[in-house]
Structure 1
Amino acid sequence: MVLDLLLIGLAVTLFPLPIMAFILAVSAPRGVRKGLAFILAWLACLVAVMAMVLLFTGGQPPPPRSPPSIAALVATLVTGVGLVVYSEHRRRRSRRGATAAAPSAQEGADDSGSSMASRVDEATGWSAAALAVLLQPWGMVAAAAATVVQADLSHAESFLALMGFCVLATSTLLAMELYMVFSPEKAQRALLSLRAWLELHKDPAIVVVCLLLGLWLVGRSLYQLTG
């Protein structure tokens, strides 16, 4: 369970889309407050999902080969297959977009980015929180929830694993927020440069993250189902 949560948390924290949205929020006027609202909503989603699973299991893992245990493995398998399919969909869409790119594509992207930045500038903390909920990589969170079914709250290791997952899955956002708090001008320049880079490379990043995590989840669940 610990290794699975570690890999899922790493995939969540490296997923490009929430990072790009968070950069816009934290770089906007009153950005530190908006960033904090984004992080709190992000963490609340993770904690709520984990709490619901633990409430369902009572903090005790189901016996091996029991219906709840098999259901959790099947859910993990389906989630892994979904991530692999999604990565292939993003890869094909990225290839089609590159083939059909027009000379004015960069200008259109700049206009789109400016429009989004303008909307984020006008957003409130509640809007930033809603954005965090919408951009949560729910497929990966579902995989984490299926893994948490194995948690045994009678052991301290399970508590540490769950806390570590939540912290790891939020670590990129926390690092950017702290950067803005302690060095706002330098951080804003660096984060906007990072967002510009992600805008160009987000599709390959999404493909790699989803494919690797999806293959891991499929392999692990098949091994446990057939072992």
Structure 2
Amino acid sequence: MVLDLLLIGLAITLEPIPVTAFILLLSADRGLRKGLAFVLAWLACLVLVLALTVTATGGNPPKAQSTPSTAVLAVKIALGVGLIAYGEHRRRRLGRRPPREPAWAARLDHVSVWTAAGIAVLVQPWGLVAAGCATVVNADMSHVTSYLVLMGFCLLASASLLAMQLYATFRPRTAQQSLARLRTWMNSHQDQAIVVICLLVGLWLVGKSISQLV
């Protein structure tokens, strides 16, 4: 479970669409406040969905080879296939059009703090978050280490946002230039990053789940 959550957490924190949206919010008027609202809403959403998952399982992982365990593996296979299909769809579009900033990006300069928080929920990579929840089903919450693993997953999935927020807070001038360069790079490589993330996580989920079924 730990290795799965490590891979999924890295994929979430490196997902380019949330990162791009966050950079745009930091660059806007009252950017630090909007960025903080984004980070808090992002973390709250992650914690909430994980808490609901643990509550649904009662903190007890399903027994191996049981019907619930097989159902969880089937869900993970379905999520993996969905990620592979989406990654392949984006791969086929590579090179067909020049990279450009999405239309919604221009509107982020004028959003309110509350809207920034709502955007954090909308741009979360829900396919990856669902994969994380399907993995958390196997967490045994009778051990303290399980709580630490889940906390680590939330922090890892938010690491890029937390790093940029702290950088912009304590080094505002330097951060403005660095984040602008990162934004430019993201605009040029967004599709490639999505393809790699989706295919990597999707193949991992499908391969490991099938091996556990067999």
TM-score (norm 1): 0.91
**Which among 185, 191, 202 is matched to residue 190 of structure 2?**
202
1:14 paired residue number: 14
* Root-mean-square deviation (Å): 1.4
SS of equivalent residue, structure 1 residue 189: helix
2:41 paired residue number: 41
**Which among 181, 185, 190 is matched to residue 178 of structure 2?**
190
d(CA) in 2 for partners of 1:22, 1:94: 24
d(CA) in 2 for partners of 1:129, 1:69: 35
Aligned pairs (5 A) from 1:140-219: 140-219=128-207
d(CA) in 2 for partners of 1:75, 1:26: 36
| Structure 1 position 95, deviation (Å) | 3.2
d(CA) in 2 for partners of 1:95, 1:68: 43
Structure 1 gaps of 5+ residues are none
- 2:121 maps to 1:116: no
Aligned pairs (5 A) from 1:131-142: 131-142=119-130
Deviations 1:156-186 (A, max 9, x none): 2211110110000000000000000001111
| Structure 1 position 27, deviation (Å) | 1.2
- 2:92 maps to 1:92: yes
Q: More helix per residue: 1 or 2?
A: 1
| Structure 1 position 96, deviation (Å) | 2.5
| Structure 1 position 8, deviation (Å) | 0.3
d(CA) in 2 for partners of 1:65, 1:125: 47
Letter paired with 1:173? L
d(CA) in 1 for partners of 2:174, 2:152: 29
Letter paired with 1:140? L
| Structure 1 position 60, deviation (Å) | 0.8
| Structure 1 position 189, deviation (Å) | 1.0
d(CA) in 2 for partners of 1:163, 1:67: 29
Q: Which runs of 4+ in 1 moved over 6 A?
A: none
Number of corresponding residues: 214
1:71 paired residue number: 71
TM-score (norm 2): 0.96
d(CA) in 2 for partners of 1:188, 1:127: 22
Deviations 1:69-116 (A, max 9, x none): 11111111111111111110001112332xxx5xxxx7xx47x67x73
Structure 2 gaps of 5+ residues are none
d(CA) in 2 for partners of 1:45, 1:68: 25
d(CA) in 2 for partners of 1:76, 1:129: 29
d(CA) in 2 for partners of 1:124, 1:133: 15
SS of equivalent residue, structure 2 residue 93: helix
Overall identity of the aligned pairs, in %: 59
Letter paired with 2:175? A
Letter paired with 1:18? P
| Structure 1 position 216, deviation (Å) | 0.5
